[in-house]
Structure formats: C-alpha cells, structure tokens
C-alpha cells in the first residue's frame, strides 16, 4: 500500500520576493531531481594569501580539542522565489590524535581507533561499524555520501589548503581559495576567505584573533546539483567550546545491537510524497549502471554495453586532483593483476572535469601527463569525459570516485576519495565479486543518505 503525506507551505512576501518555507526533504529532492548537464566546472587558480589564511583555520581547529556547534540553513532560489528549509544542527567533538564524535539528524558517529561506528535514534537495536581505511574524512563520506558540513573537512580533511577546499562541501567539489580581505561585520573585525569555481562561491568569516570560523556561506549556481536558473544557498554559523569529558563522549552503546551493512539501513526515513523519488537514484548499489560511450587517447572507444560480461572498475579522476594522481599507479597495477590472473576485469581511468573540452587538445594533455608520470602508469586505459556527462550520469560528488560494475551491468560499490587502505579495499571488493560475494541490491528506501 502506497503512502502519501501532506506538506504545509508557508509563504511570506518581502519586497518583491516570495519566501516559501519547505521541509528539508523537499529541498533535497528538488536538488537531486534537477541534475544539470554541466558537470565540467573549471577550477580557478588558488591565491597564495587565501591559501595561507585557510591553512591557519585548519591549524587552529586541529591544534586542540574542540566541541563545534555547526548550524546550517538551506535555501533554493528561483528568481524572486526563495524556498527555505528549517535549520539543521550538528555537534562535532574533535580531539587531536583520538578522533571525532558527530551528532546530527538523529545519528551518533564515533570515529576512533581505526573504526567508524554509528547508531541512529530511530533504530535502538542496530549499529553500523566499519574500518576507516586510514582516513576518517573519507570513511564518513563513503558512509553518508552527502555531507554539507564544512567543519568536517576543516577538522578531518586534507592538510593542504587547496585540497581541503575541495572537501569543504560535498556539493561544491571544485572550490579553490581565491581571495582574502578584512571586513567589518556587525561591528566586529573579520578575516573573510573567499573560495570559488565557475559553479560555486564560498566565503568563510574568521575571527582574526583565534583563526576560528564564525560564519560561512556556500552558493551553488550551476553544475550537477541545481537546475538551470536555480541557486542553492547554504548559510552556516559556528560556536566553539572546550571538550568537557572526552571519555564519555567517545563511548557508543552498541552492546546487544545487531550490526548492519550500511548507514542507510539504520535510519527509518519519513515516507516520500506521492511521485517523489529517493535521493541518489541512478548510482545506488544494485541499480543498472548508466551507459556511456567515450573516446580514448587513440582510436578506441569505451562503451559500457560492449563490456558486458566483465567486471568493470571506473575511476573518475582529473589531473589537478592530488588524491586522483596518487591513486592512478594502483589502478594500473590492478589492471595488470587482472590480466596476469586471467580475470574478466576492465579497469578504466575516466578523466573528467578538465579545462580542455576539445578532443584533440584533451588527448594531447592527458598523453603528456601520463608520460610525465613515468612507467608506473604503463598500460592504464584512459577514457575522456569531455563534457562531464558521464560524471553527471554517475552522480560524481568529488574526485576521485571509484565505481565497480558487475558482469551484468549493475553497480556494486561506489567509493569516494583515496587514502591508506584504498587499494586493498578495492581489490577485496573485486575478489569478493569474483568469489560470489556480490552484495544484494539495496532497496530504494535505503538510498536516502
């Protein structure tokens, strides 16, 4: 029996703009249903002074234990209409050399001792646990997919400012620090760090005495996550305080609970309105992988339907992405390993999100890049996503993103980022697939995170 829910809409008229208050799920659905064909944002050159200012913020947050209260309000702007969801709040307890505890949307997450452990208020008898693979940030991203919380990257992400900038917001993955200046806000002096790409802008207002953020905002006006003509705006505020009792904070009650295979299985989401689709549709494990037909570095073409019967590893990457470059030698080695063991395995390094859109220009650029990297990348097969449509079809939120597709053309796993243990996990996923360990397809209701 299908269920539907009624949602009240509050409209206020201010000047010429109509403000509409919607539920968070409605705004989220609006974003994900509005996938744009523009997936190929051009990154901008980082400004050294802005990078230095962002580095100071990263250092201040990671220097000592903090309890961070982060509040966000999300608005969708369509001309004169503004739809605003109720505020969301998260509390992060960051303790250097120990880990992090996060509480938001009914979830309680503990990242410590090489593990991520999670429970949810709606499921008292269940818990999720997994290795963090050497990267607490990417363990969170792999578990939740959509994490619009900049404090996580500032506390757990990459140390290098330009790389941390790309982690600040899961729907704004192309940001680079591009400006810094002093401003007055409500009578207080603030250091304003500007970050931008062709599709997004972010600003972080920092207390110059402490180097800690006070407020921030992110505006997404083009790309994968908004319809044409729509803007998505996030407004943040921050409060920092001391950690009172780290021992009790890091305890998580998992005794007598049953372990589940995914974070999505913990939460019991509210029913969707009639006709609405769950978020993330098109990429969830168990779903049919989107078709692609892409040029390579030579006359060859890469077409998914031509590869049926093989296990396929798609790695979305770009030359400007540091973690992507670090992952490429392992992919080349994985391809050789498959050949040496006679496995029906196809490893494709799918280059996307570069500035060059012309095929011959891109071919020359990538061929030169591979030559610069030396023999470690010999034999690596590269497909070229010139217009970003493949990245859009696969809902790529950040780079690198690695997708495993089984012999029947189903998505088996999706992993974002690269760090210690990533190559081992990838090879284990592939071995499990060849040995019959293919996970069962997820139900639609599980694809809501």
CATH classification at residue 348: 3.40.30.10
Q: Determine the structural domain holding residue 437 and report its residue range.
A: 293-446
C-alpha 246/C-alpha 54 separation (Å) is 27
Is 105 in a helix, a strand, or coil? coil
pLDDT at 420: 66
Instruction: For residue 49, give the H/E element and its range.
Output: helix 48-62
C-alpha 148/C-alpha 161 separation (Å) is 18
pLDDT value at 142 more than 70: yes
pLDDT at 273: 37
Is 23 in a helix, a strand, or coil? coil
pLDDT value at 219 more than 90: yes
Strand order of the sheet with strand 301-303? 301-303, 293-296, 381-384, 345-351, 311-317, 401-405, 411-416
pLDDT value at 35 more than 90: no
pLDDT at 422: 76
Say if residue 316 is in the same domain as residue 190: no
pLDDT value at 449 more than 80: no
* Residue 309 is assigned to a structural domain of this protein: yes
Say if residue 50 is in the same domain as residue 191: yes
pLDDT at 377: 93
Q: Tell me the average pLDDT across 147-174.
A: 92
pLDDT at 9: 30
* Residue 286 is assigned to a structural domain of this protein: no
pLDDT at 283: 67
Q: Which residue has the tokens 């109720």?
A: 86
* Residue 81 is assigned to a structural domain of this protein: no
Convert 171-182 to b/e letters by CB count within 10 Å (16 or more is b). bbbbbbbbebee
Look at the pTM and tell me if it is higher than 0.85: no
Of 201, 96, 196, whose CA–CA distance to 156 is shortest?
Answer: 96
pLDDT-derived band of residue 56, with 50, 70 and 90 as boundaries?
A: very high
* Residue 281 is assigned to a structural domain of this protein: no
The three-point CA angle 353-215-96 to 5° equals 80
pLDDT value at 157 more than 60: yes
The two most distant CA atoms of the chain are separated, in Å, by 69
pLDDT at 246: 87
Say if residue 301 is in the same domain as residue 402: yes
pLDDT value at 162 more than 60: yes
* Residue 206 is assigned to a structural domain of this protein: yes
C-alpha 205/C-alpha 194 separation (Å) is 9
Say if residue 99 is in the same domain as residue 167: yes
User: Do 193 and 206 form a contact (C-beta atoms < 8 A)?
Assistant: yes
C-alpha 233/C-alpha 205 separation (Å) is 16
Q: Tell me the average pLDDT across 205-214.
A: 98
pLDDT at 117: 94
pLDDT-derived band of residue 437, with 50, 70 and 90 as boundaries?
A: very low
pLDDT value at 126 more than 50: yes
pLDDT at 313: 96
C-alpha 374/C-alpha 380 separation (Å) is 12
Q: Tell me the average pLDDT across 205-227.
A: 90
CA distances from 324 to 320, 351, 383, 435 (A): 8, 10, 15, 28
Q: Tell me the average pLDDT across 187-201.
A: 95
Residue 400, preceding peptide bond in cis (omega within 30° of 0): yes
Q: What is the percent of the chain where pLDDT is above 70?
A: 83
Q: What is the percent of the chain where pLDDT is above 90?
A: 48
Say if residue 302 is in the same domain as residue 424: yes
> Concatenated DSSP letters for 338-403?
HHHTT--EEEEEEE-S-S--SHHHHHHHHHHHHHHH-GGGTT-EEEE-TTSHHHHHTT--SSSEEE
C-alpha 309/C-alpha 407 separation (Å) is 4
In 182-284, which ranges are continuous DSSP H helix? 246-249
Say if residue 197 is in the same domain as residue 101: yes
User: Do 72 and 88 form a contact (C-beta atoms < 8 A)?
Assistant: yes
User: Positive or negative, the Cα torsion across 132, 133, 136, 140?
Assistant: negative
pLDDT at 353: 82
pLDDT value at 185 more than 70: yes
Average of per-residue pLDDT values in the chain = 82
Q: Tell me the average pLDDT across 416-439.
A: 74
Q: Tell me the average pLDDT across 297-304.
A: 94
Q: List the single range of 5-19, 342-356, 385-399 with lowest mean pLDDT.
A: 5-19
Check which CATH number belongs to the domain holding 102 and give it.
2.50.20
pLDDT at 186: 93
* Residue 314 is assigned to a structural domain of this protein: yes
* Residue 280 is assigned to a structural domain of this protein: no
Say if residue 99 is in the same domain as residue 240: yes
Q: Is 238 exposed, middle or buried (0-12, 13-18, 19+ CB in 10 A)?
A: buried
Is 261 in a helix, a strand, or coil? coil
* Residue 173 is assigned to a structural domain of this protein: yes
Say if residue 251 is in the same domain as residue 111: yes
The three-point CA angle 273-278-284 to 5° equals 165
pLDDT at 150: 97
pLDDT at 224: 67
pLDDT value at 24 more than 50: no
Compute how many other C-beta atoms are within 10 angstroms of the C-beta atom of residue 339: 12
Say if residue 251 is in the same domain as residue 310: no
Q: Is 394 exposed, middle or buried (0-12, 13-18, 19+ CB in 10 A)?
A: buried
User: Do 286 and 440 form a contact (C-beta atoms < 8 A)?
Assistant: yes
Say if residue 252 is in the same domain as residue 352: no
Q: Tell me the average pLDDT across 41-50.
A: 84
User: Do 59 and 373 form a contact (C-beta atoms < 8 A)?
Assistant: no
Q: List the single range of 11-20, 356-365, 407-416 with lowest mean pLDDT.
A: 11-20
Please state the domain count of the chain: 2
Say if residue 52 is in the same domain as residue 184: yes
pLDDT-derived band of residue 196, with 50, 70 and 90 as boundaries?
A: very high
pLDDT value at 13 more than 50: no
pLDDT value at 26 more than 70: no
Q: Tell me the average pLDDT across 240-254.
A: 90
Say if residue 260 is in the same domain as residue 390: no
> Checking phi first, is residue 205 left (phi over 0); if not, alpha (psi -120 to 50) or beta?
beta
pLDDT value at 165 more than 80: yes
C-alpha 275/C-alpha 142 separation (Å) is 28
């Amino acid at each position: 029996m299908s269920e539907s829910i009624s949602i009240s809409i509050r409209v206020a008229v201010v000047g010429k703009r109509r403000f509409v208050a919607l539920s968070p799920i409605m705004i989220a659905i609006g974003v994900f249903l509005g996938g744009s064909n523009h997936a190929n944002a051009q990154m901008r050159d980082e400004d050294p002074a802005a990078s230095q200012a962002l580095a100071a913020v990263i250092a201040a947050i990671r220097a000592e234990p903090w309890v961070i209260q982060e509040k966000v309000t999300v608005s969708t702007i369509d001309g004169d209409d503004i739809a605003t969801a109720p505020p969301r709040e998260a509390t992060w307890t960051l303790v250097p050399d120990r880990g992090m505890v996060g509480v938001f949307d009914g979830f309680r997450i503990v990242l410590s001792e090489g593990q991520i452990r999670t429970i949810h208020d709606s499921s008292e008898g269940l818990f999720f646990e997994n290795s963090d693979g050497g990267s607490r940030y990417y363990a969170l991203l792999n578990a939740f997919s959509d994490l619009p919380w900049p404090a996580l990257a500032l506390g757990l992400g990459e140390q290098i400012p330009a790389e941390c900038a790309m982690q600040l917001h899961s729907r704004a993955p192309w940001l680079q620090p591009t400006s810094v200046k002093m401003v007055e806000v409500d009578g207080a002096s603030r250091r304003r760090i500007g970050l931008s790409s062709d599709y997004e802008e972010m600003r972080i207002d920092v207390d110059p005495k402490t180097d800690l953020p006070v407020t921030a905002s992110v505006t997404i006006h083009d790309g994968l996550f908004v319809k044409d003509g729509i803007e998505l705006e996030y407004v943040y505020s921050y409060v920092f305080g001391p950690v009172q009792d780290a021992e009790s904070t890091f305890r998580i009650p998992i005794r007598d609970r049953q372990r589940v295979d995914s974070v999505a299985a913990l939460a019991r989401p509210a029913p969707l309105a009639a006709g609405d689709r769950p978020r993330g549709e098109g990429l969830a494990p168990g779903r049919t992988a989107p078709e692609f037909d892409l040029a390579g570095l030579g006359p060859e073409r890469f077409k998914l339907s031509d590869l049926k019967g093989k296990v396929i590893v798609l790695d979305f990457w770009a030359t400007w992405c540091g973690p992507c470059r670090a992952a490429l030698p392992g992919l080349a080695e994985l391809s050789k390993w498959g050949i040496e063991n006679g496995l029906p395995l196809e490893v494709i390094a799918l280059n996307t999100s570069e500035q060059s859109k012309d095929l011959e220009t891109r071919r020359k650029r990538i061929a030169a890049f591979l030559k610069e990297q030396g023999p470690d990348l010999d034999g690596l097969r590269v497909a070229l996503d010139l217009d970003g449509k493949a990245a859009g079809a696969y809902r790529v939120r950040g780079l690198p993103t690695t997708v495993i597709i089984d012999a029947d053309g189903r998505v088996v796993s999706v992993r974002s980022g690269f760090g210690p243990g990533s190559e081992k996990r990838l090879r284990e996923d592939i071995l499990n697939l060849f040995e019959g360990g293919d996970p069962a397809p997820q139900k639609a209701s599980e694809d809501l995170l």
